[in-house]
Amino acid sequence: MNYDLVIKNGRIITAHTSFTADIAIRGEQIAAIGQNLSGKREIDAAGKLVTPGAVDIHVHLEMPIGKFTSSDDFFTGTRAAALGGTTAVVDFIERQPGETMLAALADRRVLADPKVVIDYGLHMTIGPHDIAHLDEVPAAYAAGCGSFKLYMAYGLRLTDDQIFKALTAIRSVNGLPVVHAENWDVICTLIAKNLANGNTAPRFHPLSRPAIMEGEATGRIIDIAALVGTRLHIFHVTCGETAGRIAAARARGLPITGETCPQYLLITQEAYDRPGAAGALPVCAPPIRTQDSQDALWRALSKGDLQIVTTDHCPFTRAEKATGITLYDFSQIPGGVPGIETRFTAVYSQGVRRGLLTENQWVDICCTTPAKLAGFNNKGDIVVGYDADLVIFNPEKEVTLSAAFLHENVDWTLYEGMALRGWTETTISRGRVIVDDGEFVGEMGNGRFVRRRFDD
């Protein structure tokens, strides 16, 4: 009885192998994997899958965007994540004018530390005003911001020379650049043209942000990254045009990775045709696209041309989403959709159950590679000495998704009425059971800020 907690008889699924065994936890770490282990508390996982905790390296919690702030805070958002089997997330820092990167990091931690129920990291955003402050990048990296976010769209977008300078600074500390890649100039032109022609409804949102311009921006920044000699991670890939650029770069031997998100894997752009404010709900950027794009994304995940699935979780309420409708301007709809609770199940149900991915790929895509990529060096795998971040997943449990069933702090879900198979029953965060038989039993503030780095 020298272990604190033992998960017994589960089928352990890692990125590379599947086998039945017990997992013993002492304190916060995995202490043993074997047969007939016993502990002070034992959970029988017979008939269940035991996986590493899922890792979501792209979430926006209580994030101000324009006149709104995303509706999940660091408590409700990480609680919903835990209920969906996620045990680590990475959110964002945006420096205010006059603030140093370290002060901005401290500010964000003041918001997050008391509320998070799972471990978390923060990407440091480098906007146009930060280019004069790139000498702060080493301090931000040393303080645990292992990754840096660049935008090629919106007010925070960088020009190509600024991208070159930012990538060079990030490269000098061995950090990971992550990028929102879209061709902003062309998008602005198309938005203006559509609005001028009276095309104000949400269905003109995807038509103003064409797939080919996402591919173009991706190809451009990949080549700048190649010139600098840095790796690069492409956020929210929505289409074959972008996945193809990533695959071609990887074939050239370049260290480029890409992610997609459930909204692009489960929904198609007909959702923007829904009447009234319902058509505004799926507005996010880059937009949700055609069935052909969706099929290309599943193929890319299956072949390894895309490496991970994240959520880009960024919820706004129905009323906030409706503003673009009342203003007759789709470009005023706050961009972003919820998804932090449903990712692990969505990829299992729609990927593994439909035969598009193996169980090992599911774990690799949702847990192991995101952890490795983002510099969570002790997470994302089931290995003695790693953090005991684990999930007991019932592969047979059928759920019908609805806003009422989910715990995200928002009054809608993109997946209303969708039936999925497979659900998280138990979530363990550094040895503590925080979701027990589907109920949240964790505590606010028990998550920790993880200093992510790549040199050990």
Return the SS3 of 196.
Answer: helix
Which residue in 60, 95, 109, 379 binds ligand DUC (CB under 6 A)? Answer: 60
CB of 320 to ligand DUC, least distance (A): 12
Among 84, 215, 336, 422, binds ligand DUC (CB under 6 A): 336
For residue 378, the tally of other CB atoms under 10 A from its CB is: 18
Shortest distance in whole angstroms from residue 182 CB to ligand DUC: 9
The site partner of 390 among ligand DUC, Zn ion, none (C-beta below 5 to 8 Å per kind) is none
Any contact of residue 150 with ligand DUC (CB under 6 A)? no
Distance, in Å, from the CA atom of 304 to the CA atom of 138, rounded to the nearest integer, reads 32
CB of 264 to Zn ion, least distance (A): 13
Q: Give the three-state DSSP class for 82.
A: helix
Q: Identify the burial level of 430 via C-beta atoms within 10 angstroms of its C-beta, where 0-12 means exposed, 13-18 middle and 19 or more buried.
A: buried
Q: Contacts with Zn ion in 370-399 (CB under 5 A)?
A: none
Q: For strand 39-44 and strand 419-429, is the pairing parallel, antiparallel, or unpaired?
A: unpaired
What is the footprint of ligand DUC within residues 176-195 (CB under 6 A)? 180
Q: Is 58 in the site for ligand DUC (CB under 6 A)?
A: no
Q: How far apart are CA 390 and CA 413, in angstroms?
A: 26
The answer to whether residues 14 and 363 touch, using CB atoms and an 8 Å cutoff, is yes
Distance of CA 188 to the CA centre of its chain: 26
**CA torsion through residues 96, 79, 277, 281, sign:** positive
Q: Counting contacts by CB under 5 A, is residue 72 touching Zn ion?
A: no
String of DSSP letters for 292-315: HHHHHHHHHHHHTSS-EE---B--
Tell the smallest beta-carbon distance from residue 394 to Zn ion (Å): 30
Q: Tell whether residue 341 is a contact of Zn ion (CB under 5 A).
A: no
- When CB distances are held under 5 to 8 angstroms depending on the partner's kind, the choice from ligand DUC, Zn ion, none that residue 56 binds is none
Q: Which of 32, 30, 83 is nearest to 56 (CA)?
A: 83
**Residue 45, helix vs strand vs coil:** coil
Chain CA centroid to CA 418, Å: 21
314 near ligand DUC, judged by CB under 6 A: yes
Report the distance separating Cα 105 and Cα 102, nearest Å.
5
DSSP assigned state of 24: E
Considering the complex, what minimum distance in angstroms separates the CB of residue 222 from Zn ion?
A: 19
Q: Does 59 bind ligand DUC (CB under 6 A)?
A: no
Which CB, 180 or 372, lies closer to ligand DUC?
Answer: 180
Of the two residues 15 and 284, which places its CB atom closer to ligand DUC in the complex?
284
Q: Which of 284, 296, 297, 435 binds ligand DUC (CB under 6 A)?
A: 284
> Can residue 312 be called a binding residue for Zn ion (CB under 5 A)?
yes
Q: Binding of ligand DUC at residue 10 (CB under 6 A)?
A: no
Stretch of residues binding Zn ion (CB under 5 A), selected from 125-133, 309-317, 367-375, 430-438: 309-317
Question: In whole angstroms, how close is the CB of 300 to ligand DUC at the nearest point?
Answer: 20
CA distance linking residue 302 with residue 326, whole number of Å: 41
Provide the minimum distance between the beta carbon of 180 and Zn ion in the complex, in angstroms, as a whole number. 7
Contacting residues toward ligand DUC, per CB under 6 A: 60, 180, 284-285, 312, 314, 335-336
Contacting residues toward Zn ion, per CB under 5 A: 312
